[in-house]
Structure 1
Amino acid sequence: MQQSYVLTIRDLFTVRQGAMVGDHAEVAILDGGIEIDRIKISGKIGPGGDGYHRKYDGGPGLSAKLLTKVGQITFAAI
């Protein structure tokens, strides 16, 4: 059985010398706590707004964990 998810990342940026610049994030996709995939995202996603959405297809019951200190994620079945 296949399940579709949406990964949303927000606040992907760093402030350097008073300016907001892009950064990178790594997200582990987990099946029962075991990493089965890793997604790397780079760019600038400022505060507020809807963030960046990316579809992910996999098995049922997957979860995601942000591995970097920059950004915030949600991972939800659709």
Structure 2
Amino acid sequence: MPTTPQLRDKLPVVRARGWRALTRWPGSYLLVARSGSPLVVIGDLAGQHPVYYRTDGSGIWWATAASALAAWTGPRST
């Protein structure tokens, strides 16, 4: 999990929208970053904090549990 100083050190990366660099810390974490209008949600690569998402006309909905996402947005039809 990133420490507070590690997060501060990555602020220039966020401003430059270098999202991939935010996935390189060891351990399990969920990260939410914004630079201007994009909001980026990064689940850890170990899968301990997965991020589920779906898009619709109003934007992107995301949650860390598929059941919560379905409760907010309704079931997705295929």
More helix, by proportion = 2
More strand, by proportion = 1
Higher relative contact order (CA 8 A, sep 6+): 1
TM-score by length of structure 1 reads: 0.31
TM-score by length of structure 2 reads: 0.31
Which protein is bigger by CA-based radius of gyration? 2
